[in-house]
Structure 1
């Protein structure tokens, strides 16, 4: 049985369908909303999955303008929009999230497969609790965050990781681990030893592929984090990266998705094969014991 879609997935799905209907009707955003009780900005945010219509009558009026007469299709979209307005699992902490983080969490929760790379640390979905906490502690005086915010961020990160080990349709993850980032000591040796052991255990799972990218002359390395999230079911692939302004940027624009995908593919081509990963990780464990 397929997992029930998250609210963000339902918003993205219905928004994507509405955008296709508008294009098939040959209407611009301005033409589509002309005379209706909402503006272009609202429709654009609905089409991109950022929000749902507050009133079903607004959606029905829009569908009538698009020439949609199939009552079953109308009811399906109204239901998707209504369910898309329901609470996400992280709603209780949303007030303290970085700008763009709620959108990212929604897309990540809806993703079926994620390809990820981070140039300076182990990716968040693969971090142990101790590694994540130590990393936040290092950034605490720089980012001027409170201990409460730090602990909440760690709990949120651990909660996100549950998608990798759930019984029903676990999230597929393909991560490229940059060797300098992998070796960089985040905290005491026991923190790194636990992190390497955790990675080795995850590498044995069928839904997780880990490759190590060595520091080799001529090999391509992205200087920013790369996160490519595939949602399936005809929904747009979405990419994410953190910015220098402590915000989370998310986009499903084809040009940006293709660029991030090319970056990831280039690093995969330069990385060691997955079968070598356990040996590398076990060697790193031994080095922390010395």
Structure 2
């Protein structure tokens, strides 16, 4: 039996169902638009877009009831199911306490990540956050500090968040997330924090690579196959929810999409990199080799 979803998962579920109902309603020969849906309500088009993508719940349950009425949903039992779903969706999630130090898009992604059944990710420049040691994470944030103009408190909070993300994803009971990560060799050779930090990080990757639910591959610098230019992740949330793709850009923003064409494109790219990367069985030896070269 699947565990009950947290607030982020319930928001995604609520948004997906509402979007499905809206798009099933034909207006002037086309699926109802968000602009048409919010007419006569107190909900803005932008707010409905955020609701449908799982970024927001209804603060006023009356707005939800009014929207459902506009969609022709008049069965009280069905309405109450939506109300209960929204109640769960607007509850306090574990990531809420980090809200002040996170971009809104990143807050949503972290919540999704912790509820995924499977995550496939590619990180070309640095070690993936879910594989990082505390010392490595601290060194990353310290390097970025003068560029991002962040504070020591920001570093402390975000390192704590990263470690909690790691624990919630990789040690979740009774079903930890299945994680498949492809790391770029160049990123692994980038000496963040100095030899001791990197040696500990290589040991941690070796430890994690031996877990049954974790697969780690290295994409060598001399490979000739396809390689994505930026971080990406593909998340399988299960239980009828769509696959999600997340991509970082050069400006530090996080973009998340459940559009089938976009997710399919990233999936094809990830599968190509699996073929180009070293076999996962070679990862422990590769880490030992990097440690010897320090």
Please state if 1:259 is matched with 2:259.
Answer: no
Q: Which residue of the partner structure matches residue 23 of structure 2?
A: 23
Q: CA–CA distance in 1 between the matches of 2:255 and 2:197?
A: 30
Please state if 1:189 is matched with 2:215.
Answer: no
Q: CA–CA distance in 2 between the matches of 1:204 and 1:70?
A: 51
SS in structure 1 opposite 2:94? coil
Q: Which residue of the partner structure matches residue 9 of structure 2?
A: 9
Q: CA–CA distance in 2 between the matches of 1:102 and 1:220?
A: 30
Q: Which residue of the partner structure matches residue 244 of structure 1?
A: 250
User: What is the TM-score when the length of structure 1 is the normalising length?
Assistant: 0.92
Please state if 1:38 is matched with 2:39.
Answer: no
Query: Is 1:98–1:246's contact at 8 Å kept on the other side of the alignment?
Result: no
SS in structure 1 opposite 2:211? coil
Q: CA–CA distance in 2 between the matches of 1:168 and 1:45?
A: 31
1:155-194 per-residue CA deviation (whole Å, 9 max, x = no partner) reads 1100100121122211111000111211221122221111
Q: Which residue of the partner structure matches residue 54 of structure 1?
A: 59
Q: CA–CA distance in 2 between the matches of 1:59 and 1:142?
A: 42
1:192-211 per-residue CA deviation (whole Å, 9 max, x = no partner) reads 11111111111111111111
Q: Which residue of the partner structure matches residue 159 of structure 1?
A: 164
Q: Which residue of the partner structure matches residue 234 of structure 1?
A: 240
Query: Is 2:95–2:111's contact at 8 Å kept on the other side of the alignment?
Result: no
**Superposed displacement of residue 255, structure 1:** 3.0
**Superposed displacement of residue 121, structure 1:** 0.7
Mean alpha-carbon deviation: is it higher for 247-256 or for 21-30? 247-256
Please state if 1:100 is matched with 2:105.
Answer: yes
1:193-247 per-residue CA deviation (whole Å, 9 max, x = no partner) reads 1111111111111111111111224222211111111211121222222222232
Please state if 1:201 is matched with 2:207.
Answer: yes
Q: 1:53 to 1:99 in 2, by over 3 A?
A: closer
Q: CA–CA distance in 2 between the matches of 1:39 and 1:142?
A: 36
Q: Which residue of the partner structure matches residue 29 of structure 2?
A: none
- Over the aligned positions, Cα root-mean-square deviation in angstroms equals 1.8
Relative contact order: is structure 1 or structure 2 higher (C-alpha 8 Å, sep ≥ 6)? 1
Query: Is 1:116–1:228's contact at 8 Å kept on the other side of the alignment?
Result: yes
Q: Structure 2: give runs of 5+ residues left out of the alignment.
A: 27-31
1:90-141 per-residue CA deviation (whole Å, 9 max, x = no partner) reads 2122112135221222221222211111111111110001111111112222
Q: Structure 1: give runs of 5+ residues left out of the alignment.
A: none
Mean alpha-carbon deviation: is it higher for 126-135 or for 87-96? 87-96
Structure 2 residue aligned with 1:120, among 115, 119, 125? 125
SS in structure 2 opposite 1:161? helix
SS in structure 1 opposite 2:246? strand
Structure 2 residue aligned with 1:210, among 205, 211, 216? 216
Q: Which residue of the partner structure matches residue 269 of structure 1?
A: 275
Query: Is 1:3–1:168's contact at 8 Å kept on the other side of the alignment?
Result: no
Q: Which residue of the partner structure matches residue 135 of structure 2?
A: 130
Q: CA–CA distance in 2 between the matches of 1:58 and 1:256?
A: 31
Q: Which residue of the partner structure matches residue 284 of structure 1?
A: 290
